[in-house]
Amino acid sequence: MSNDLFRPEHEVWRQTIREFIENELAPNAEEWEEAREVPREIFKRMGELGYLGMRYPEEYGGGGDMLAEAIMHEEMPRCRSGGVAGDIGAHVAISMPHILHFGSDEQKEKYLVPGIKGEWIGCLAITEPDAGSDVASIKTRAVRDGDDWVINGSKTFITNGARCDFMVLAAKTDPEKGYGGISMFVVDTNTPGFEVARKLDKLGWHASTTAELAFTDMRVPGDALLGEENRGFYQIVGMFSWERLSMALGSVGVAQIQMDQALKYAKQRQMFGRPIAGFQVIAHYFADMQTKIEAGRRLTYHALSLYLDGKDPVKEVSMAKLFCGRTACEVIDTCLQIHGGYGYMEEYDISRAYRDVRLMPIGGGTDEIMREIICRMMGL
């Protein structure tokens, strides 16, 4: 797709990653959905090919090209499983960026190198049973004890949580300061006191190893602190833009893919002696869907361009995430309707996409939070 944002080599990369996804990931979707897990070998395979480090510096084994990672997020829905895309995205776009931006040289060497190789898998542990959108209300506590920190608390809805090798963890280090008393830590999950309390069953994203985590007197060294003490809230907020951009890109991708498949189906499906695509009511569905998808794509690319220019496009990113997540839900609902009874059958990808896409208006910041951010940026 021609766009001023991308150079010719990016379109070559788009075709390369698309072929990999369609040939090596998509054929295994049913198996991984049923197993409720993406094999670790997939992370290693993608690491060997350099696909997990596209935006990371070359000194750590990356490619140094954020646009290449953006393209991957848009193409990942071709894997036919939101859980597969979610686990890979959580590792690449959500957990490791905290280490890249705020980690010490030692932390970057220790975690980014094996993370980019796919040898280690990371997660971001912020959400708690009583604190989701309201990050300042987290209760997980980190207390100094000599040169160490002792952490107690719990986290939930953690993507990759059931099998991660390291986690970027938010904890209160000064509860009296509210959001100004949160710090971030990077922790090895073989640390005594860490426990996967339970693996969570979900409406969709069945292949994702989403978990509830518990920490009981989990002792970590002083150098596990990620960035400055009591600056964790600002670090979290600073990383939201890329996470939300990746979700907007994924929403655009899955909406386009499912609409294309529905169009192919509508041209083949006969009703009253002709393809249903020939009926005006169905044709108009496609006109509306393609218009919304293209509007979402342009909005997302605009926010992406601002982000790459070094700006802080909080409003534009929030708009993209809000619009594209909701558009993807609407498009896929319409595509299922076009499939009729077959859309309700598990043998068609649209049924899985219908379950999986419902997370987009929730994860990474709910639609309600996106609207609040946009309103505040408008001075309301």
68 in a structural domain: yes
Over residues 305-317, the mean pLDDT reads 95
pTM of the model: 0.95
State yes or no: is 243 an active-site residue. yes
Shared domain for 196 and 115, answered yes or no, is no
Shared domain for 93 and 161, answered yes or no, is no
Shared domain for 311 and 199, answered yes or no, is no
Shared domain for 341 and 247, answered yes or no, is yes
Predicted local confidence at residue 3, as pLDDT: 64
Give the end of a domain, one of 121, 146, 162. 121
The residue whose two tokens read 């499906």 is 269
- Domain membership of residue 71 as a residue range: 8-121
Shared domain for 199 and 288, answered yes or no, is no
**Which sign does the torsion angle of CA 85, 90, 96, 98 carry?**
positive
141 in a structural domain: yes
Could you tell me the pLDDT band of residue 1, with boundaries at 50, 70 and 90? very low
Shared domain for 168 and 72, answered yes or no, is no
Shared domain for 138 and 178, answered yes or no, is yes
**How many whole angstroms separate alpha carbon 240 and alpha carbon 238?**
6
313 in a structural domain: yes
Shared domain for 206 and 272, answered yes or no, is no
Number of domains in the chain: 3
Predicted local confidence at residue 237, as pLDDT: 93
Cβ atoms of 71 and 17 closer than 8 Å: yes
Catalytic residue among 19, 243, 330, 368: 243
Shared domain for 197 and 130, answered yes or no, is yes
2 in a structural domain: no
Flag whether pLDDT at 72 surpasses 50: yes
Instruction: Identify the DSSP state of 223.
Output: G
Beta-strand pair 122-125/166-172 = parallel
**How many whole angstroms separate alpha carbon 162 and alpha carbon 165?**
9
Predicted local confidence at residue 219, as pLDDT: 98
CATH number of the domain at 45, please: 1.10.540.10
Shared domain for 217 and 252, answered yes or no, is no
348 in a structural domain: yes
Shared domain for 82 and 145, answered yes or no, is no
Which helix (H) or strand (E) segment holds residue 186: the answer is: strand 182-188
Give the end of a domain, one of 121, 146, 176. 121
Predicted local confidence at residue 133, as pLDDT: 82
**How many whole angstroms separate alpha carbon 180 and alpha carbon 193?**
26
20 in a structural domain: yes
Tens digit of each residue's pLDDT (9 = 90 or more) over 270-302 = 999 999 999 999 999 999 999 999 999 999 999
1 in a structural domain: no
Over residues 154-162, the mean pLDDT reads 97
Say whether 187 sits in a helix, a strand or coil.
Answer: strand
Shared domain for 303 and 324, answered yes or no, is yes
Predicted local confidence at residue 2, as pLDDT: 45
CATH number of the domain at 221, please: 2.40.110.10
CATH number of the domain at 250, please: 1.20.140.10
Give the end of a domain, one of 89, 121, 153. 121
Flag whether pLDDT at 194 surpasses 70: yes
292 in a structural domain: yes
Tens digit of each residue's pLDDT (9 = 90 or more) over 214-260 = 999 999 999 999 999 999 999 999 999 999 999 999 999 999 999 99
